[in-house]
Structure 1
Amino acid sequence: MTDRGAETIAWRDYLGVATGLLRWSPAAFWAATPHEFWAAIEARRRAYGKATAPPPSDDEIQAIRRRHAGG
């Protein structure tokens, strides 16, 4: 078979998005069609937006440490 400009599919990256971001099981990822995968990505973007949360402030970090100090 010859390579006619075909791109390599980054399966590991897509699996990471599905299991980490979408919280799918690996079996759900491998059972999904590409349409289902991209529809889920788009739905998440619409639901949560593209913005990321700001990092916690020093006071918030200290409060977290106090809550979990005995753990």
Structure 2
Amino acid sequence: LAPFPDGTPPLRDAWRLSQPGRRHAPTVGLHDDHPDANAPFAFDFAFVSAALAERVGRMRVDAAETGSDHQALLLELG
């Protein structure tokens, strides 16, 4: 992410820290059976400060749940 112009510390993408080189897993459209629904895509993200970046552990998308049109992100911090 681009730095803020006022010197605010930048945020880091937790998925990229925990899954280097892997595309973001889809978080929307996995269980939508509406005929106008688009293909699943990544819509939900978790960002961490530089201080937390070194503590990012596993991160995954709970693709099995059907209670929402968005899938839950699960992020472990060590």
- Return the TM-score normalized by structure 2: 0.24
Q: Whose strand proportion is higher, 1 or 2?
A: 2
> Which structure carries more helix by proportion?
1
| Structure whose alpha-carbon radius of gyration is higher | 1
Structure number with greater CO (CA < 8 Å, separation at least 6) is: 2
TM-score (norm 1): 0.25
